[in-house]
Amino acid sequence: KVIIMIVQVELRKIIIDERRQDQIIVLKEKNGERQFPIVIGFLEASSIQMKLAGLEAPRPMTHDLLISVIEGLGGKMEKLVIDKLVDNTFHAKLEIKMPDGQVKVIDTRPSDGIALTVRSNAPIFADEEVLKKATFFKT
């Protein structure tokens, strides 16, 4: 059996450049020095930034809708795990606890997963192997 080591990370910063399609978020090891960037789309970056700034859209945005659906079905966002880095593309899984105690694991882009975690206060984790491959500098 393979033992997967995960490390809690937190959103360190969002770099938004409205003249570019791709934006950058930086995740930092919660109790450590390592950090790494993830390139995400403008819409996802805007969704994350909007929620962090405390701004509410007049109607539910896609990420707000998804949290409402999860909670409306009795689920709870447990965590996001960034579990793979393949060809410079990050992969992630949402873990959602259902009312019966079962945990559903759902494939997601990290950007969408992070947009959901900022709405649900769920923690973010990264696989140790992802951290080893992706860390670009220490603070």
102, two tokens: 């079962």
What was the pLDDT predicted at 56? 87
Q: H helices then E strands: how many in the chain? A: 4, 8
What was the pLDDT predicted at 50? 92
Length of the chain as a residue count: 139
| 80-105 pLDDT per residue, tens | 999 999 999 999 999 999 999 999 99
What was the pLDDT predicted at 126? 97
122, two tokens: 């769920």
What was the pLDDT predicted at 21? 79
Helical H segments across 28-76, by residue range: 42-52, 62-72
**pTM, rounded to two decimals:** 0.91
C-alpha separations of 66 from 28, 38, 86, 91, 116 in Å: 26, 22, 26, 19, 8
Question: In order along the chain (139 residues), what is the average pLDDT of each group of 10 residues?
Answer: 84 87 92 93 92 91 95 97 94 97 97 96 96 77
What was the pLDDT predicted at 137? 60
Please compute, for residue 13, the number of CA atoms within 13 A of its CA located in the half-sphere on the CB side: 5
> CA–CA separation, 84 vs 1, rounded Å?
18
Please say whether the beta carbons of 125 and 119 come within 8 A: no
